[in-house]
C-alpha cells in the first residue's frame, strides 16, 4: 500500500509538473516564431485562409468566476493584430469571414477538452464581418461540413467601438449591411453591457435589453432596404438557445416598415415574434419583399402580430403568420388573420378578412390619365388601366375568404353583406361564389381570371334579383313615387391585363327587366322637354304615372356595347334608348327617343342625345328637332298667328303596353 501510494504521489507530481511546465511554456514562448506553422495548419484543417499579419501573443490571466463566486480563475489570454479569416470556397459574397485590426480574447482552457469554446471576454477593433448562408450545412461561420459541428461555443461579452457586418442569406434572398455601434461608450460601459442585457434580453420591451444601434442597407428579395435598428447584446445573436430583442424602422422597397420583437435562437433561427406596422402608396409594393402578388391600390396602412417559424429544416419551409391585423386602404378598412407558407412544393397564402367598408375605387382606382397617342390625345381615361402581372401568380397558390358589410361601387351605389372566396390555383384566379345584397334584392355570380397566358383571360357571370329602383338610386327618394324592381343578368368575357384592357376586348351580353310601378310625371316630362306640362307639374303638382315595364338588351362585341333594345314604358309615353358605348375608347353615342301615347299641346318633345366620354359626358336635346319645330312655327306665324301653335302639337301614337321589341315610329 505504501509503495502504491508513493507511485500515485509521484504520478500526480509528475502530472502537475507537466502542467506547470506547459503553463510556463505558454507564458514564456514567443508564439510569433510558430505563427507561420500555426496559420498554415489552421488553413489546411479549416479549408480557408487564416492569416495574421501582425504580432500574436498567448498568455495567462485571472478573471472572476462568472458563476458569481468570489474566487478568481486562470484563463488563457490571446491577442492578435491584423487578423484575416477567409471564407470557404463556396461563398460568393466576399473573400473574408472576418477582418480585424486587433483581437483580444479570454477563454477557459479546460472546456476545450470537451470541444467547447468558453469565451468570457472578446474585444475587437476595426471589425469587418461577412457572414453567408446557403443552407443549414453551409454557413460561412461554420468550420465543418458535418451536419453538426462537434465544436460549440458561448461568448459572455463582446466589446467594440464600431463593427461593419454583412449578412447574406441565399434562401431568404437577403443581403444586408450593418454599421453597428454600442448605444453606450464601450470604455465606460464594457462591464455593464453584459450585466444589463443578460437577463433583460428576453424582454424586448425592457430598454436595458437594447444595447446596440446600427444603420442598415441592402436588399430583401426584390426590395431595397434602408433604415436603422436597435438590438440586444451581440453575444445573444451568436450563442445557442438565446433570445435576441430587436427594434427597427425603415423602408423595404417602397414600403415603410416599423417592427419590434425578438428572435428565438438567432444563431440557427427557428422563430421570430414581431409587432409589425407597414405603410405605402399601394398594396402591390409589398410584392418586392413578400412575393405575394397584390393589386395596385390607394395608399395603405396595416399593423398586426407577425410570427415567423421554421417548419422543416431540410426543405427550408417557413410559416409566416400575420395575426389580428387591422388596416386601411384609402377609406376602406380591413381586419383578419393570414398565414403564408413559404416552401416546397409551392408557396401558399391563406387569409380570412373582414371589412366594414370596402370602396371599389380604393382597390381599383380610376386611372384619370391623359392619353399620349394622337388618336386619343387630350382624353382622360376613367377605367382602371394599371396592368396586372400574371407571371407573378405562378409563384403562389392562395385562398382568401372575404366578407364586407358594405361595398361601395359608386358614391351612390353600394352592396351589403358581400362575401366571396378568392382562389389562386396554378395561375387561375376565381372569385366564387360571389354573393351580395343590393337595394333590397340580391345578387350572385362568379369571376374567373386565367393568367396562364401573356394577356389574362377574364370571364364574368352575374345575376340580380328583386333590386329596388328607389333604393338603388337614393336621390329619387325625394319624389313621391314608387319604383319597380330590376332583374338582370350579365355574361362577359375578354382578355387583357387591366380592367380597361379587358373591357376593350369584351364579348357577351347584358339583359335587364324593370317591373311595374309608378314614376314621377315630372321626371318623364322633363326628360322629354314637354315644357308646358313640366312647368305645370313642378309648380302645382307632381302627378304619378303608372310604369308598365322597362327592358334593356345590350350586346357586347370586341368592346363595343350595342343597345339592341332599350325601353321605359308608361301608361302615357314610351322612351326608347338607342345607340352604343365604346368600352375601349370610353365614348358614348346614345339617343333617348320619347314617344307619346296622348296628344300634347305646346310640346317641344324631341330626342335627347348622350355623347362625349366617360370622364366628360355631354347630355342635351337634339338641336335638329328643336330647330325644325321652331322654324315651322315662325313661318306659320307670318301667315296666321294661330297656326303657329300647330308644330308644337304632338299627336298620340298607338304603342303596345309591354316592353317586348316592337318597330318604333320615327321621332316626333
More confident residue, 43 or 303: 303
Over residues 241-246, the mean pLDDT reads 90
More confident residue, 603 or 113: 113
Q: Given this model, what pLDDT does residue 191 score?
A: 42
Which pLDDT band holds residue 237 (cuts at 50, 70, 90)? confident
**pLDDT tens track for 37-55:** 989 988 888 888 999 999 9
Over residues 137-159, the mean pLDDT reads 78
Q: Given this model, what pLDDT does residue 278 score?
A: 96
> Residue 6: which residues within 8 A CB-CB, separation 6 or more?
none
Q: What is the DSSP string of 143-184?
A: ---SSS-S-EEEES-EE-S-EEEEEEETTTTEEEEEEEEESS
Taking Cα atoms as reference points, which of 543, 545, 600, 595 lies closest to residue 571? 545
Share of the chain above pLDDT 70, in %: 73
Beta-bridged to residue 488, according to DSSP, are: 464, 512
More confident residue, 14 or 29: 29
More confident residue, 63 or 71: 63
More confident residue, 98 or 266: 98
Which pLDDT band holds residue 204 (cuts at 50, 70, 90)? very low
For the chain, what is the largest distance between any 2 Cα atoms, rounded to a whole number of angstroms? 160
Q: Given this model, what pLDDT does residue 622 score?
A: 63
> Among 22-26, 126-130, 295-299, 415-419, which is the least confidently predicted range?
22-26
More confident residue, 304 or 608: 304
More confident residue, 195 or 432: 432
**pLDDT tens track for 577-600:** 889 999 999 998 988 887 776 655
Q: Are 26 and 59 in contact (CB under 8 A)?
A: yes
Share the mean pLDDT of the chain. Answer: 79
Q: Are 357 and 405 in contact (CB under 8 A)?
A: yes
- Is residue 630 over pLDDT 60? no
**pLDDT tens track for 488-523:** 999 999 999 988 999 999 999 999 988 876 655 545
Which pLDDT band holds residue 654 (cuts at 50, 70, 90)? low
Taking Cα atoms as reference points, which of 659, 639, 656 lies closest to residue 647? 639
- Is residue 380 over pLDDT 50? yes
Q: Are 608 and 620 in contact (CB under 8 A)?
A: yes
Using DSSP's 3-state secondary structure scheme, residue 525 falls into helix
The 10 Å Cβ neighbour count of residue 44 is: 10
| CA distances from residue 595 to 356, 540, 599 in whole angstroms, order as listed | 45, 25, 11
Question: Angle at the Cα of 393 (from 330 to 312), degrees rounded to 5?
Answer: 105
- Cα–Cα distance measured from residue 236 to residue 216, given in angstroms and rounded to the nearest whole number: 19
Question: Angle at the Cα of 503 (from 661 to 413), degrees rounded to 5?
Answer: 75
Beta-bridged to residue 515, according to DSSP, are: none
Q: Given this model, what pLDDT does residue 9 score?
A: 62
Q: Given this model, what pLDDT does residue 537 score?
A: 44
Q: Given this model, what pLDDT does residue 371 score?
A: 47
The 10 Å Cβ neighbour count of residue 239 is: 18
Report for 45-54, 198-207, 603-612: range of highest mean pLDDT: 45-54
Which pLDDT band holds residue 31 (cuts at 50, 70, 90)? confident
The 10 Å Cβ neighbour count of residue 620 is: 11
Q: What is the DSSP string of 426-486?
A: TTEEEEEEEEEEETTEEEEEEEEEE-SSSS-EEEEEEEEEEEEHHHHSGGGGGSS----EE
Q: Given this model, what pLDDT does residue 295 score?
A: 83
Please, what sign has the CA dihedral across residues 54, 59, 64, 69? positive
Which pLDDT band holds residue 215 (cuts at 50, 70, 90)? very high
Q: Which residue pairs, CB below 8 angstroms and at least 24 apart, start in 429-434?
A: 429/393, 434/462
Amino acid at each position: 500500500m505504501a509503495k502504491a501510494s508513493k507511485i500515485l504521489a509521484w504520478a500526480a507530481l509528475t502530472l502537475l509538473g507537466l502542467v506547470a511546465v506547459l503553463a510556463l511554456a505558454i507564458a514564456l514562448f514567443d508564439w510569433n516564431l510558430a505563427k507561420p506553422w500555426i496559420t498554415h495548419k489552421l488553413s489546411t484543417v479549416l479549408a480557408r485562409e487564416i492569416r495574421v499579419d501582425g504580432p500574436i501573443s498567448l498568455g495567462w490571466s485571472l478573471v472572476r468566476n462568472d458563476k458569481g463566486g468570489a474566487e478568481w480563475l486562470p484563463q488563457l489570454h490571446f491577442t492578435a493584430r491584423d487578423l484575416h479569416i477567409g471564407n470557404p470556397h463556396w461563398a460568393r459574397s466576399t473573400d473574408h469571414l472576418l477582418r480585424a485590426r486587433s483581437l483580444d480574447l479570454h477563454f477557459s482552457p479546460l472546456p476545450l477538452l470537451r470541444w467547447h469554446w468558453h469565451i468570457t471576454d472578446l474585444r475587437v477593433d476595426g471589425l469587418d464581418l461577412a457572414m453567408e448562408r446557403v443552407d443549414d450545412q453551409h454557413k460561412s461561420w461554420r468550420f465543418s461540413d458535418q451536419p453538426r459541428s462537434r465544436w460549440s461555443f458561448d461568448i459572455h461579452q463582446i466589446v467594440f467601438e464600431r463593427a461593419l457586418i454583412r449578412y447574406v442569406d441565399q434562401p431568404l434572398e437577403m443581403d444586408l449591411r450593418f454599421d453597428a455601434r454600442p448605444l453606450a461608450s464601450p470604455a465606460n460601459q464594457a462591464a455593464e453591457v453584459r450585466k444589463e442585457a443578460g437577463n433583460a434580453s428576453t424582454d424586448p420591451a425592457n430598454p436595458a435589453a437594447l444595447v446596440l444601434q446600427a444603420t442598415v442597407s441592402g436588399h430583401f428579395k426584390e426590395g431595397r432596404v434602408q433604415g436603422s435598428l436597435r438590438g440586444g447584446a451581440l453575444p445573444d445573436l451568436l450563442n445557442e438557445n438565446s433570445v435576441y430583442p430587436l427594434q427597427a424602422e425603415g423602408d423595404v422597397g417602397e414600403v415603410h416598415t416599423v417592427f419590434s420583437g425578438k428572435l428565438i435562437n438567432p444563431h440557427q433561427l427557428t422563430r421570430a415574434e414581431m409587432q409589425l406596422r407597414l405603410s405605402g402608396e399601394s398594396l402591390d409594393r409589398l410584392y418586392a419583399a413578400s412575393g405575394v402578388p397584390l393589386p395596385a391600390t390607394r395608399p395603405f396602412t396595416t399593423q398586426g402580430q407577425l410570427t415567423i417559424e421554421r417548419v422543416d429544416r431540410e426543405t427550408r419551409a417557413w410559416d409566416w403568420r400575420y395575426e389580428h391585423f387591422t388596416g386601411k386602404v384609402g377609406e376602406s378598412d380591413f381586419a383578419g388573420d393570414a398565414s403564408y407558407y413559404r416552401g416546397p412544393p409551392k408557396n401558399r397564402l391563406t387569409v380570412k378578412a373582414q371589412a366594414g367598408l370596402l370602396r371599389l375605387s380604393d382597390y381599383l382606382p380610376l386611372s384619370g390619365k391623359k392619353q399620349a397617342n394622337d388618336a386619343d390625345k387630350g382624353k382622360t381615361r376613367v377605367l382602371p388601366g394599371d396592368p396586372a402581372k400574371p407571371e407573378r401568380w405562378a409563384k403562389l397558390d392562395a385562398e382568401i375568404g372575404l366578407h364586407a358589410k358594405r361595398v361601395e361601387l359608386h358614391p351612390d351605389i353600394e352592396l351589403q353583406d358581400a362575401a366571396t372566396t378568392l382562389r389562386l390555383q396554378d395561375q387561375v384566379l376565381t372569385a366564387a361564389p360571389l354573393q351580395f345584397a343590393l337595394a333590397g334584392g340580391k345578387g350572385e355570380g362568379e369571376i374567373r381570371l386565367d393568367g396562364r397566358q401573356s394577356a389574362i383571360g377574364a370571364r364574368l357571370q352575374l345575376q340580380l334579383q328583386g333590386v329596388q329602383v328607389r333604393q338603388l338610386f337614393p336621390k329619387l327618394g325625394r319624389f313621391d313615387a314608387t319604383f319597380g324592381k330590376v332583374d338582370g343578368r350579365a355574361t362577359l368575357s375578354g382578355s387583357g391585363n387591366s380592367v380597361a384592357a379587358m373591357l376593350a376586348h369584351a364579348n357577351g351580353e347584358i339583359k335587364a327587366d324593370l317591373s311595374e310601378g309608378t314614376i314621377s310625371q315630372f321626371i318623364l316630362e322633363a326628360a322629354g322637354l314637354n315644357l308646358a306640362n313640366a312647368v305645370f307639374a313642378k309648380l302645382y303638382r307632381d302627378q304619378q304615372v303608372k310604369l308598365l315595364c322597362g327592358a334593356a338588351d345590350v350586346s357586347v362585341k370586341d368592346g363595343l356595347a350595342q343597345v339592341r333594345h332599350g325601353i321605359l314604358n308608361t301608361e302615357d309615353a314610351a322612351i326608347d334608348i338607342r345607340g352604343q358605348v365604346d368600352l375601349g375608347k370610353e365614348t358614348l353615342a346614345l339617343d333617348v327617343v320619347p314617344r307619346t301615347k296622348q296628344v300634347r299641346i305646346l310640346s317641344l318633345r324631341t330626342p335627347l342625345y348622350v355623347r362625349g366620354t366617360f370622364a366628360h359626358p355631354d347630355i342635351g336635346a337634339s338641336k335638329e328637332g328643336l330647330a325644325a319645330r321652331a322654324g315651322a312655327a315662325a313661318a306659320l306665324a307670318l301667315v296666321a298667328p294661330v297656326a303657329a301653335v300647330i308644330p308644337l302639337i304632338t299627336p298620340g301614337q298607338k304603342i303596345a303596353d309591354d316592353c317586348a321589341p316592337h318597330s318604333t315610329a320615327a321621332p316626333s
